[in-house]
Amino acid sequence: MNVSTLQKVRYGYKPKLPLTLSGSTEGITVEFGSPTEAISDREEIKEIFKNTYGKPIASFIIKGKNDKIRRELKVGVILSGGQAPGGHNVIAGLFDGLKKGNPGSVLYGFKRGPSGLLDNKTVILTEEIIDNYRNTGGFDIIGSGRTKIETPDQFASSLETAKKLNLDAVVVIGGDDSNTNAALLAEYFISNGSSTQVIGCPKTIDGDLKNEHIETSFGFDTACKTYSELIGNLCRDTNSAKKYWHFVKLMGRAASHIALECALQTQPNICLISEEVEAKNLSLDKIVEQICASIVKRAENGDNFGIVLIPEGLVEFIPEIKKLIEELNDTMAGEDGAFSSITNFNDRLNWFSGRLSDISLGILKTLPAEIAQQFLMDRDPHGNVQVSRIETEKLLVGMVEKKLSILKERKQYNGKFSALTHFFGYEGRCAFPSNFDADYCYSLGYSAFVLIASGLTGYLSSVKNLTAPADKWIAGGVPLTMMMNLEQRHGSKKPVIRKALVDLNGKPFKTFESNRGQWAEKTSFLVPGPIQYFGPSEVCDNTTVTLSLEHCS
């Protein structure tokens, strides 16, 4: 394997562990709290998860001797969904825990995501393989995939694989949908007489898989630092050239955590927060007016440049566009085949006549053709519009240009506007994990081992108290069913883990809100620079501004 100098050095990094996980495994005991309930739709969720609903929170303590920890185990691990920095360290932590518990334990890696479980495509993960991936980005150790385990045949195939390999457990490393799958799989195994346990690990750079027990999902720290470095570079560049407005779309479809964190790290002139747009019922025109107000004011100060941050899923939160997307999703769910057979764009638009409301159809027809076509592309795996493929940044630039032309005609604007667009997404998904993510992910993997060895199933590996030094982190597990509600998917209600959106009353947003007026007018950019792996702890081990603000006293 060809490796860079940095990668060679990172191989030698020793991730830090919570105190409860850093000593002898035999002394780790599970302490249980009270029974838990789902977020909402409790009776319906309880009916679906008859065997796994209501489990208590699990915490690890050092007390006595846990003979279960020494069992020889066979475990399979799956990387599911999009990549996130630190996934390799989750697997390394799981592997090291298994081997420390019993050197005879075996870890299977399912190739290419959940499909590897369905097709029994595995590789036995050895110390030599693991050592080639420690503290590195990417999911290339076994690959990932987005296959959903949802049909009776798929569940049966999963059980068959578990039986053939004589698995004690399956670990699913993924986001909210992947861990919903993990919960369903855990329930299926029990209801069909299987002793194979299922444990999840919270992965997503979007930062929307969290609650009081899951303080952040892994990868969020690294991705935001990577994007903030790039945004900081643009801040420095535009402040040097003094002639461009950079419109930057950032990953994060359902929630604006990435955009908010990057704003707190770089202090752009404008940062749109989807959740605020929805709460204030802001139309597309109102958003454009907000951006133009900053442009006009800065032009009066002689500053014809700036930075605008846009969350990937913004269009889903703009009332009139949200309604359009909902109508498109409902229409397509029932007639996808008929629509797919139409290739001409104008014929596609006309096909929606009578199927969409007059308002939604009017909006679709008034959008620029290239943007409208993006609303009509192939559906995502859930049957929804692929919002990530809608170039919201280009739509906003076009509308801002039109608005500024009108203002110029009215003598209300006399500046120069030149815009460049960017989408920072894939650039952050496979970066070398920050020290925080390297430590956090390793701890999550190790915690998954303890949950398995202790005989638990239907849990999400948890490590909290994350703003403290790593030795003071608190490891344990959270029942997957307590994070669930029912949502509309493919035209029917399905149990899913609820995404955590930006809290408009939380300290991260309030801090941003109290400063954005000044940032909109004055050049207040911060340039955080690249991720630091070596040096003082306050430089190398610091976490996100979001996490720090959420847990400051």
List active site positions: 206
Which of helix, strand or coil describes residue 132?
Answer: coil
DSSP, collapsed to helix, strand or coil, labels residue 116 as helix
Taking the CB of residue 388, how many other CB atoms lie within 10 A of it? 17
Residues 6+ apart with CB under 8 A from 137: 83, 85, 86, 88, 222, 429, 430, 431, 432, 433
Angle at alpha carbon of residue 318, lines to 346 and 306, rounded to 5°: 100
Q: Is 23 exposed, middle or buried (0-12, 13-18, 19+ CB in 10 A)?
A: exposed
- Pair type for strands 459-464 and 197-202: parallel
Tally of residues, the chain: 553
Where are the strands (E) in 278-387, listed by range? 306-311
In the three-class reduction of DSSP (H, G, I as helix; E, B as strand; rest coil), residue 78 is classed as: strand
Handedness of CA 456, 458, 463, 465 (dihedral sign): negative
What type of residue is 394? K
- Take residue 386 and report the two structure tokens written for it: 């692929």
Helix (H) or strand (E) holding 122: strand 122-124
Cα torsion for 104, 105, 110, 116, to the nearest 10°?
90
DSSP 80: B
- Cβ atoms of residues 155 and 198 within 8 Å: no
Cα 432-434-438 angle, rounded to 5 deg: 90
Instruction: Give the C-alpha separation, 168 to 69, whole Å.
Output: 13
Contact indicator for 368, 398 with CB cutoff of 8 Å: yes
Distance, in Å, from the CA atom of 476 to the CA atom of 313, rounded to the nearest integer, reads 32
Residue whose tokens read 């001409």: 344
Burial code of 354-381, b = ≥16 C-beta within 10 A, e = fewer? ebbeeebbebbeebeeebbebbbeebee
Return the structure tokens found at 406.
């009108």
Q: CA-to-CA distance for 261 and 315, rounded, in angstroms?
A: 20
